Amino acid sequence: MSSPTRQMNTRRLPPLPGKGKRGAGSKGPSSNHTKSYHKVPDMIITGFSPIPSNHHGNNSSFFNHDGPLSIHDLNREALIQYLNHNPEFLDTYVLTHVNEQQIENWYLRKTSHLSHHTTDRQKTSEQFKLNGDSHHISDNFTHFSKYTSQIHTTKGRVAHVLSKEINHPSGRHIALSELASCVVKAVHAEGCNLYATDAATQEIVLIRGGKIVNENREKICDRVSIAAQVAYSKETTRLRDVTVDHRFPNGLGVACNRSFSVIVLPIMDEDGNVLGVLEVYRNSRFGQFSEGEEEVASFLLLWSGIMVDYAEVTGTILAWGGLLLQYAEIHSNMTKQRKLHEFLLTVTKSIFQDIVSMDTVIMKIMNYAQKLVNADRASLFLVDNQRHELYARIFDIGNGILSQAETQQREIRFPIDKGVAGHVASSGQILNIPDAYSDKRFNRDVDLQTGYHTKTILCMPIYIRGNIIGVVQMVNKLDGIFSRTDEEAFETFAVYCGLALHHAKLYEKIRRSEQKYRVAIEVLSYHNQCTDEELKQLRSLQHPEKLEAITSYEYSPWEISDVQKPIFVLDMFKELFTSMRFDISDLSRFTLTVRKNYRHVPYHNWVHAFSVAHSMYTVIKRSNHQFTSTECLALFVACLCHDLDHRGKTNAFMVKSASPLAAIYSTSTMEHHHFNQTVAILQHEGHNIFKHLTSEEYKQVLGDIKHCILATDLALFFPNRARLKEIADKNEFSWSIQEHRRLLMAIFMTGCDLCAMHKPWEIQLNLVYVIMEEFWQQGDEEKSQGFKPMPMMDRDKQNELPQLEVGFILGICLPCYELLAQVIPSTKPMLDGTIANLKQWQVMADKNKEEALEAAKQENNTEKA
């Protein structure tokens, strides 16, 4: 490529403005958009003197000369100095005489030189001249305009490919391949080689068909192949004949042996990074590439490199833009949904917090539905499946909630298959009717009955468990017709309507059930309370003179008649709690009602309750305990009430038979029921024996009674005994610790509940058969239901009773009474009586074993005989 200095010395310069005359053809650019300069007479410039070439550094002699100056006296340095000191002259000249195409060419040359680092390029041009000849690229730049149309076409094609393919994984390579094809056509090349740079390996790699050919790789370095050299130097190289240039041993680097003239150009982005290298070549038939063609190729690659960056940025922006649009739409939908959900939440709170009646719920549904879709009127029809009709007690709400008087209007009824609402109720189809009177399904009778004119209708079915229970109908949208958005919002709202109506129906059923329950409780309370005659009879009885006789562990409370037992209870109350002020009438009613609420079962009846209360009375009176007075009161009342309403069945049977009580109480089923019955009796009028207690004392007594009654469940006995046993063995029991006292109260309850086991042998033996009769009755019922009873409850295994009693005493009774004797030694008579009875049962068990062995021997001998 030629140097600018040689061009300026050999090219004829355009005339400078002055006294000289311009040729006739100097008015402007020619029709073919090429710039032409015309020969003019020598120009005389006054006020200047010629500057010798060896004095070009002295500017003053040039600008201070007053004589005429001929254009032949000018040199390059003088002209540059003149233009530097007269920039307005250059501006005027360019604006007046230079066409737009030439200005564009200058701009492209300027940007091309800047992006390719002009200083380095000049050095490289000196080293790599085109086969020994140096020509400046501007020699042919005046012919650049002949490529304009093709360049614009190429730019359009490349821009289209970039916009389409840039986000594809191999989009850049596809775009560069399209660019290479365009350059080949623009400069009339025979073919091209396109390389991409691999920054990681510092290599160039061949691209064919938009895809990388990994077999054709080459290191980016100096003087190996033309492509590697250009990638290394970042400068364009044009060779007239590749075959005679020995500076590139590998030539083009690919199988293009027929190539002679070649242009090799770097493809760079706006930051100066090499994206790739393009080789365009010709064989001998097409001749050599010109400098103008080199400029065209350079321009296209420069523009395309910028476009690659732009397309990538644009692709990213478009991708983000698409996401932003998508998220904007999502945000808009979410905002709508949020408003709808807030509305539905308000509706739900309002409806479900104030379920008073079905009419109230219907009123709220209709008013909220109006607000939701901006309707003038709202109607809600319920389905009467028995009469196959739709009916509405509240109809056509407008202008807010109706008053109570307005809700007293008569019902409107019509067949379920008539009208818009009937069609929706029959088919389950949502109807949005913009003109009611033009729709055949519209029932005009409704308007006739109400005097209202219907225009637009939105009608929606209400479902519960897949069945249509009603229809909501919105009438006359205030601002046009009902839209699809109204349908969607209304459809969601209809679900809440169904739930609200369903819960309103359930609430009405519950309320009716509650009323029935109150009536039943009232009836039962009347029959379960003592009568005035019973109370009068109790008052007529004589009290025993002394209670010392019954204050014994060996005493049999079963000897006292059922008529006398209540009076003994009253006396035991007085004896134990002399410091407490009981209302004798309340105490009498309480005792008699407790007796009345025990069922007539073989063992767990009023007699058993009295015996347990008597046992606790004996313990409290004779043991050196330190229970508080309220704790003693709780223990005694708990014993008296601990088996209230007992059905003669165990907890396991109640669970196995799916008893309603087992559904209510998952653990200690009967014990919870006994306590609740106690509380129910205390709540009867004239039965609250604790009314003299303070609020805190009343709460404490009820808590202790519950604790004591639940402790009679043998399932709780074992963990309670284990904890108290551990404390007693460590000698850490303390009456001042409430937990210790409550554990001891629980063990006392078990000991008193089993009091029959320590009574004298004759009493004990009779009571065991009473207990077993109740167990055997349960076993008989289990057999009738297909269950296999436990051996203790199997009537067919009566002969095993002694062995069963021995096991029961050893497993439960002895551990209980031994622990009581360890903590309170004065209770040892309970342990002694139990041990004595154990010996008797052991004798019977041994005798049964001997008889069983003897029977087995006889049977064996019979078989042998």
Query: Cα separation of 76 and 59, whole Å?
Result: 13
Helix, strand, or coil here: 530?
coil
Which of 317, 341, 373 finishes a domain?
317
Residue type, 660: P
Q: Tell me the pairing of strands 389-392 and 412-415.
A: antiparallel
Do 40 and 164 sit in the same domain of this protein? no
Question: What is the structure's pLDDT at 169?
Answer: 52
Question: What is the structure's pLDDT at 122?
Answer: 41
CA distances (Å), 255 to each of 180, 210, 261, 439, in order?
A: 18, 19, 15, 81
CB 755 within 8 A of CB 768: no
Kindly give, in sequence order, each residue whose CB lies less than 8 Å from that of residue 639, ignoring residues fewer than 6 positions away.
609, 612, 613, 615, 616, 708, 749, 752, 753
More confident residue, 403 or 545: 545
Residues 776-811 have pLDDT tens digits of: 999 999 999 888 999 889 999 988 999 999 999 999
Rounded mean pLDDT, 251-275: 75
Burial class (CB in 10 A: 0-12, 13-18, 19+), 269: middle
Do 214 and 181 sit in the same domain of this protein? yes
Which of 455, 480, 511 finishes a domain?
511
CB 465 within 8 A of CB 458: no
Question: What is the structure's pLDDT at 795?
Answer: 93
Assign 343 a pLDDT band (cuts: 50, 70, 90). Answer: confident
Do 637 and 770 sit in the same domain of this protein? yes
Kindly give, in sequence order, each residue whose CB lies less than 8 Å from that of residue 357, ignoring residues fewer than 6 positions away.
504, 508
Query: Cα separation of 847 and 801, whole Å?
Result: 12
CB 276 within 8 A of CB 204: yes
Whether 604 is a known active-site residue: answer: yes
Which neighbouring-strand residues pair with 196? 205, 276
Do 654 and 782 sit in the same domain of this protein? yes
CA angle 457, 463, 468 (to 5 degrees): 80
Looking up residue 814, the CATH number of its domain turns out to be 1.10.1300.10
For the record, the structure tokens of 448 come out as 């006739």
User: Is 859 part of any domain?
Assistant: no
Question: What is the structure's pLDDT at 758?
Answer: 96
Residues 677-698 have pLDDT tens digits of: 999 999 999 999 999 999 999 9
For the record, the structure tokens of 314 come out as 């644009």
Which neighbouring-strand residues pair with 237? 264
For the record, the structure tokens of 182 come out as 């365009």
Single out the residue of 176, 259, 268 nearest to residue 225, CA to CA. Answer: 259
Do 447 and 592 sit in the same domain of this protein? no
For the record, the structure tokens of 247 come out as 């500076």
- Can you give the pTM of this predicted structure? 0.54
User: Is 526 part of any domain?
Assistant: no
Do 440 and 568 sit in the same domain of this protein? no
Assign 834 a pLDDT band (cuts: 50, 70, 90). Answer: very high
Single out the residue of 419, 382, 379 nearest to residue 398, CA to CA. Answer: 379
- Find out whether 453 is annotated in a ligand binding site: no
More confident residue, 600 or 365: 600
Assign 100 a pLDDT band (cuts: 50, 70, 90). Answer: confident
User: Is 111 part of any domain?
Assistant: no
Helix, strand, or coil here: 465?
coil
Phi, psi of 207 (to 5 degrees): -120, 130
CA distances (Å), 830 to each of 55, 486, 748, in order?
A: 143, 82, 11
Rounded mean pLDDT, 722-739: 96
Q: Which of 97, 173, 604, 672 is catalytic?
A: 604
Do 738 and 671 sit in the same domain of this protein? yes
Residues 74-86 have pLDDT tens digits of: 678 878 888 888 8
The total domain count for the chain is: 4
CB 749 within 8 A of CB 708: yes
Question: What is the structure's pLDDT at 852?
Answer: 79
pLDDT at 255 over 90: no
Residue with tokens 């349908």: 487
User: Is 525 part of any domain?
Assistant: no
Which of 448, 477, 511 finishes a domain?
511
User: Is 332 part of any domain?
Assistant: no
Helix, strand, or coil here: 156?
helix
Domain that includes residue 226, residue range: 118-317
User: Is 349 part of any domain?
Assistant: no
What region does 481 belong to: left with phi over 0, alpha with psi -120 to 50, or beta? Answer: beta
Question: What is the structure's pLDDT at 553?
Answer: 94
Do 381 and 313 sit in the same domain of this protein? no
CA angle 83, 85, 87 (to 5 degrees): 60
Averaged confidence pLDDT in the chain? 79
Q: What's the count of helices (H) and strands (E) in the chain, helices before strands?
A: 29, 14
Which neighbouring-strand residues pair with 191? 281
- Find out whether 388 is annotated in a ligand binding site: no
DSSP string, 188-205: T-SEEEEEEEETTTTEEE
Looking up residue 286, the CATH number of its domain turns out to be 3.30.450.40
More confident residue, 466 or 401: 466
- Find out whether 133 is annotated in a ligand binding site: no
Question: What is the structure's pLDDT at 124?
Answer: 38
CA 827 to chain centre: 63
User: Is 322 part of any domain?
Assistant: no
Do 579 and 468 sit in the same domain of this protein? no
Do 726 and 828 sit in the same domain of this protein? yes
More confident residue, 317 or 373: 373
Do 307 and 384 sit in the same domain of this protein? no
**Sequence-ordered alpha helix ranges (H) in 684-713:** 695-711
Query: Cα separation of 145 and 292, whole Å?
Result: 10
Do 624 and 548 sit in the same domain of this protein? yes
Residues 177-235 have pLDDT tens digits of: 877 888 888 888 888 889 988 888 888 998 887 788 877 788 888 767 888 888 888 88
Query: Cα separation of 634 and 632, whole Å?
Result: 5
- Find out whether 643 is annotated in a ligand binding site: yes
Residues 621-667 have pLDDT tens digits of: 998 899 999 999 999 999 999 999 999 999 999 998 888 888 888 88
Rounded mean pLDDT, 492-498: 81
User: Is 852 part of any domain?
Assistant: no
Phi, psi of 219 (to 5 degrees): -65, 140
Phi, psi of 285 (to 5 degrees): -70, -30
Query: Cα separation of 340 and 346, whole Å?
Result: 10
Question: What is the structure's pLDDT at 401?
Answer: 44
Estimate the share of the chain in helix, then strand, then coil, as percent rounded to the nearest 5.
60, 10, 30
